[in-house]
Amino acid sequence: MSAGRVVGGRYELAALLGQGGMGQVWTAYDQRLDRRVAVKLLRPDLVAGASAADETRRRFVRECRVTAQVDHPGLVTVHDAGSDGDDLYLVMQHVEGADLADHLAEHEPYPWPWAVAVAAQLCAALSAVHAVPIVHRDLKPRNVMVRPDGTVTVLDLGVASVLDHDTTRLTRTGSPIGSPAYMAPEQAMGGAVGPSTDLYALGVLLHELLSGNVPFAGSTALGVLHRHLYEPPLPVRQVRPEVPEALEALVLRLLAKDPAHRPGSAQEVYEALAPLLPVRGTPVGHPLDPTRPFLRPHAPWPDRAATPPPVHAQPPAPQWAPDPGSAPAPAQPDVAGAVDEAKRLLGEGRITQAVDILGAILPAAAERHGEGSPVVRILRKQYAATLMDDGQYRRALPELRRLAEERAAEAGPADPQALAFRHDAALCLEQLGDGPAALAEYRAVLPYFESPYGTGDPARAAEIRRRVDQLLRLTAIAGRS
């Protein structure tokens, strides 16, 4: 499988995010609806032998149906599923943000109110999952995304075990599904699993957020599972004394060896966490602050306009990295190829994909050729124009201002290209609702377009006068109201 392949007649694979267990996860583009998606593919090499192939296909079909059953904002939405040649595919919502493992690494020691907020949101999602009933069976930081507004999303219900008769037959393979560091004792023993299995994993995750380490680690999977079965966890207050006693007690209950000694449900865990959640009025800090949904519910997302969204925004549940020793040297940025590809995509109406291609290559081109090089300027110009075509005026504005400043510094303020950039920047300001700033910019460039000399452009001058008049009328109406 390779980037550029179109799956199911419409989903173009863009970048491999990871692989393991059941297959691969890719970022992709839905050519029909011009949007980013995540595509999970069944790895062909796993389908070996008729009996193994049949069970794997049944499990994959079950995965698609199970995941599509659950509708909750804390879970990834399923868009489509099907087969493509020898491969099976599942198309899911593309989620921006940082996975919880990276979030923890970037903010260690992790603030305990953040850990409480993450766990509370996970409880809400798990309650919906367990009501189906489904057991996730592989809850871990790599399967949790913290989005830019602080909301938490659970990824990969693909190894879920549906608690019905058919699923019981399908999962009798003799090997437990899950990650050893987060695996409950009953799961490690190949016994019956239930909602309390996920609550144990939640306890491991909470312990890791609070202490910086999973409670049970080891050099081998077998050694880790043995510790889950027989060793007590370290109380988190021994390494983080500021953690509330009630939170430490809850973590220890979640990590009970006997499922009967754990909290009875995700709802019960949520109720235990609720008194520890931050109250309204507490300042919100980092843009990916998981307390934000509790402090400012339904608030707009933080402004991310100045930076293009990364193509690899959604890490998958199964992480994978190539062997560093065999990794090829990074390829030089093909600016001309990127521009040509973006133009082709624009011609097909696939603006989102064109924006991502240009936004991804721009930093690499600037590093190689220099910010002020003609190559980078051409690329930035195409990027800004594409953002405007896509209606992303807030992201286009800083690019246009930069282009205008650089061009004016070289060729003077009356340079036609510098004026064109300033005109487009004024358009962005107008579309963003900043009438006074747009009006000031239009008035600043209008004399140049009205000039009888080289910079004159009667048609553009007439268009600007019309926009100025319209903005003045709107300002007058607003002043009377």
Sign of the four-CA dihedral 134, 123, 73, 310: negative
Nearest one of 173, 289, 290, 185 to 231, comparing CA atoms: 185
Rg over CA atoms, the chain: 27
* 273: amino acid identity, one letter: L
Return the half-sphere exposure (C-beta side, CA atoms, 13 A cut-off) of residue 11. Answer: 26
Element at 303 (helix H, strand E): none
* Residue numbers annotated as active site: 138
Token pair of 196 as six digits = 């309390």
192-196 — which CB contacts under 8 Å span 24+ positions? 193/135, 193/137, 193/161, 194/135, 194/163, 194/259, 195/126, 195/130, 195/133, 195/135, 195/265, 195/266, 196/259, 196/262, 196/263
Distances, alpha carbon 84 to alpha carbons 4, 333, 400, in Å: 15, 32, 42
Distances (CA, A) of 305 to 14, 216, 386, 422, 425: 23, 41, 14, 19, 14
Q: SS3 for 75?
A: strand
CB 89 within 8 A of CB 81: yes
